Amino acid sequence: MYDQTCVFCREIIKNDNAAYVYKDNDVIAFMDNAPIEKGHVLVIPREHFVNVFDIDKEIYTKTQLMVKKIAMAVKLALETDGINIGQNNGRAANQVVMHYHVHIIPRYYRRNINWEREIADMESLKTTADKIIKELMDVKT
C-alpha cells in the first residue's frame, strides 16, 4: 500500500529523496534530515502502515531485525557510548509522520542528552550514511 499524503511514501519511497543506509524489498533505512544527533537513522517498511497497531506482523519483524543490525552499525561507525531506539504511536505520543518508523539515535557520555532538531545538509547526511554502510556490511545478527 502507498499513501500519496505520506511524506515517507512520497519523498523516500517514490522520489528516492534521502541519504540511504539500507534498502530491500520490505525495509528502508535512511538518515533523518532533522537529526537529534549526527547519525540519527530512521527505519521504515516500504509498505505504508500508520503505527505499531496497524503494521503487519511479518513486516514488523523484518523491520525490527533491521533496526537491531543498523543500530549495531551506527554504534561501530560513530563510536557511540549508547543508542536510543524509539517508536512513537499517534500524535499524542509525538508521532509526526503517520508512517510506521523507528528512530535510531546515537548517544555519547560527553554530551548532554539533546532532543532538539536541526536540519542537516544532504552532503553531510550521505557522508555519515557511507560510514554506517561500511560497518553494516560486517555486522552479523
Helix (H) or strand (E) holding 44: strand 41-45
Please confirm, yes or no, whether 101 is among the known catalytic residues: yes
**37, exposed or middle or buried, with CB in 10 Å at 0-12, 13-18, 19+?**
buried
Pair type for strands 41-45 and 102-107: antiparallel
**Residues 40, 99, 101, 103: which is the catalytic one?**
101
Residue entry with cell 504511536: 89
User: Left if phi > 0, otherwise alpha if psi is -120 to 50, otherwise beta: which for 85?
Assistant: beta
Cβ contact 102:84 at 8 Å: no
Kind and range of the H or E run holding 80: none
| Catalytic positions | 101
